[in-house]
């Protein structure tokens, strides 16, 4: 970093690579690119959404989601759905970059590589949150409950951040292998277990109206996971896109 400083000083003030503002602008550009592309094709969100609803449908019959069962398994059903749909989205979002050579274009851009990582992560997070924002009310209507509780939304936000932070890094790796999309869940699920356990327990705690003091350890765990893995992914992302 230090060696780049003089160059950054020489560069004009509004150069895309200078300082925090330049970083944020590069990050925003990557996010915007993803959102704009999605707005036109809508292929990512539609497939994630339809897939989510299908997963819930399968659960409905596999677990016979009657009122008694639902009380205990709702959070589990939700998180399995989010994890599967999220994996689908991560794969697609990275495959688009790889297939059309967009990733090379991104890497050629004179911006910090970590801006690309955070841009892709925020983009993936937005997609995941949109899917979750649609699945929650649909589930609420289908099963006559109210899932739109602030506590649950906080848990989902924290859990999704952890999922996407690791997922974006690992999907960048997975698309560059021979086995491609098959590999992502195999790489992702074993390292995402702490998020899954904590998110499921915290969600069911919120839904069952358990005392906040008992949910807090889970929220802390999610927070710690988010921070550690965002930091690590940020540090190693360079090596994953290096050519």
Which candidate, 199, 177, 162, places its Cα nearest to that of 78? 199
| CA-based nearest residue to 80, from 105, 101, 51 | 51
Euclidean distance between CA atoms 195 and 199, whole angstroms: 6
Stretch that binds other proteins, among 42-50, 98-106, 127-135, 187-195 (CB under 8 A): 187-195
Q: Is 114 in the site for other proteins (CB under 8 A)?
A: no
If the CB atoms of residues 149 and 176 are measured against other proteins, the closer one turns out to be 176
User: Which one of 193, 209, 211, 213 is in contact with other proteins (CB under 8 A)?
Assistant: 193
Give CA–CA dist 23/16, Å, rounded. 7
| Candidate ranges 63-71, 92-100, 148-156, 213-221; the one touching other proteins (CB under 8 A) | 213-221
Are residues 196 and 156 in contact, defined by beta-carbon separation less than 8 angstroms? no
Number of residues that bind other proteins (CB under 8 A): 35
Listed ranges 26-34, 119-127, 144-152, 230-238: which one lies at the site for other proteins (CB under 8 A): 230-238
Which one, 25 or 180, has the nearer CB to other proteins? 180
Question: In 10 A of CB 185, how many CB atoms?
Answer: 19
Q: Give me the half-sphere count of Cα atoms (radius 13 Å) on the Cβ side of residue 48.
A: 29
Q: Is 232 in the site for other proteins (CB under 8 A)?
A: yes
- For the bound state, the minimum distance from the C-beta of residue 40 to other proteins, rounded and expressed in Å, comes to 32
Q: In the complex, what is the shortest distance from the CB of residue 70 to other proteins, in angstroms, rounded to a whole number?
A: 19
Residue 78 CA to residue 80 CA, distance in Å, equals 6
Q: Which of 53, 138, 187, 223 binds other proteins (CB under 8 A)?
A: 187
Cα distances (angstroms) measured from residue 42 to each of 32, 102, 123, 127, 201? 14, 18, 14, 11, 33
Q: Which of residues 145-184 bind other proteins (CB under 8 A)?
A: 166, 169-170, 173, 176-180, 183
* 112 conformational bin, left if phi > 0, alpha if psi -120 to 50, beta if neither: beta
Q: Output b/e per residue, 204-221; b: 16+ Cβ within 10 A.
A: bbbbeeeeeeebeebbeb
From the list 14-22, 37-45, 86-94, 193-201, the region that binds other proteins by CB under 8 A is 193-201
- Interface ranges with other proteins (CB under 8 A): 166, 169-170, 173, 176-180, 183, 186-187, 189-194, 197-198, 201, 214, 217-218, 221, 224-225, 228-229, 232-233, 236, 239-240, 242
């Amino acid at each position: 970093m230090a060696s780049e400083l003089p160059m950054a000083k020489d560069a004009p003030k509004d150069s895309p690579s200078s300082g925090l503002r330049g970083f944020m602008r590069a990050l925003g550009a990557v996010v915007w690119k993803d959102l704009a592309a999605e707005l036109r094709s809508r292929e990512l969100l539609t497939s994630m959404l339809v897939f989510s609803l299908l997963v819930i449908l399968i659960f409905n019959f596999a677990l016979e989601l009657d009122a008694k069962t639902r009380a205990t398994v709702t959070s589990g059903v939700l998180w399995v759905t989010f994890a599967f749909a999220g994996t689908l989205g991560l794969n697609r979002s990275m495959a688009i970059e790889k297939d059309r050579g967009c990733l090379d274009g991104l890497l050629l851009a004179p911006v910090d590589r970590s801006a690309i990582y955070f841009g892709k992560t925020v983009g993936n997070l937005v997609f995941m949150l949109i899917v979750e924002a649609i699945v929650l009310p649909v589930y609420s209507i289908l099963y006559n409950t109210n899932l739109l509780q602030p506590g649950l939304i906080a848990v989902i936000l924290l859990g999704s951040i952890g999922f996407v932070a690791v997922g974006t890094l690992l999907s960048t790796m997975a698309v560059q292998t021979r086995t491609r999309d098959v590999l992502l869940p195999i790489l992702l699920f074993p390292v995402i277990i702490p998020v899954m356990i904590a998110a499921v327990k915290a969600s069911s705690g919120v839904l069952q109206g358990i005392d906040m003091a008992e949910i807090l350890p889970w929220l802390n765990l999610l927070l710690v996971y988010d921070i550690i893995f965002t930091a690590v992914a940020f540090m190693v992302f360079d090596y994953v896109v290096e050519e």
